Chains A and B, each alone.
Chain A
Amino acid sequence: EIVLTQSPGTLSLSPGERATLSCRASQSVSSSYLAWYQQKPGQAPRLIIYAASSRATGVPDRFSGSGSGTDFTLTITRLEPEDFAVYYCQRYGSSPRHTFGQGTKLEV
């Protein structure tokens, strides 16, 4: 079973700065099957990136995803106050169909 490990666990930055979040898979993952979600307190997760680098509908272009194989990155340029949240990476595949990373908390 593929395990996703996200780092760092917590990232402390300020508005206007650049955030780089990492997701490492224990085995190679198709980039077509890697997604990122944003979750704010008291809210359901929101899809940010799918297929490793495609932005979901309505997601600002300061969010970008990259990577392949076992290493994937979510980058947020010029952090806005509303970007501070927990971010999860997710792998879609077979056996099991879905796996989530443990999350990275992006805090001020």
Chain B
Amino acid sequence: QVQLQESGPGPVKPSETLSLTCTVSGGSISSGSYYWGWIRQPPGKGLEWIGTIYYTGSTYYNPSLKSRVTISVDTPKSQFSLKLSSVTAADTAIYYCARDGGGYCSTTSCYTDYSGMDVWGQGTTVTVSS
């Protein structure tokens, strides 16, 4: 059974870069059947998709965060990572990684069925504060 676990250094100061890693266990990150994503949730608010990566390194980013986000994958370690630069207090949130049951999408269309984000990590709280 696939499990995801987020990890990161904890508090981040304003203007610094937030770095998180998601470790996939119980299955292969390179299976090809899934993409892998990051989602966040500010305190008391709803869910916001940050970005998604395929094991080949192909990425999709939320346009509102694209200029500050980098997602990468390390297939030998079965990990994918999030970097968010120039953070402010507005980036304080619970950060989740999840398995993304979609496929390839161009700028206009997606081409496979979608089975949802069916496996989630427990989430890690990141606080941006000086």
Write the residues of chain A forming the contact surface with B, with a CB cutoff of 8 angstroms: 1, 32-33, 35, 37, 39, 44-47, 49-51, 56-57, 88, 90, 92-103
CB distance from A5 to the nearest CB of B (A): 12
Question: Beyond A46-B120, A51-B113, A56-B118, is A88–B47 a contact (Cβ under 8 Å)?
Answer: yes
Q: Which residue of A lies closest to B105 (CB)?
A: A94
Write the residues of chain B forming the contact surface with A, with a CB cutoff of 8 angstroms: 37, 39, 46-49, 52, 60, 62-63, 96, 98, 100-102, 105-110, 113-118, 120-123
Contact A45 B120 (CB under 8 A): yes
Question: Beyond A44-B121, A94-B109, A97-B60, is A35–B116 a contact (Cβ under 8 Å)?
Answer: yes
Q: Which residue of B lies closest to A1 (CB)?
A: B63
Task: Please name all residues of chain B whose beta carbon is closer than 8 Å to the beta carbon of A93 when the two chains form the complex.
Answer: 105, 110
CB distance from A25 to the nearest CB of B (A): 15
CA distance A37 to B119 in the complex (A): 12
Task: Please name all residues of chain A whose beta carbon is closer than 8 Å to the beta carbon of B101 when the two chains form the complex.
Answer: 50
Q: Which residue of A lies closest to B120 (CB)?
A: A44
Task: Please name all residues of chain A whose beta carbon is closer than 8 Å to the beta carbon of B123 when the two chains form the complex.
Answer: 44
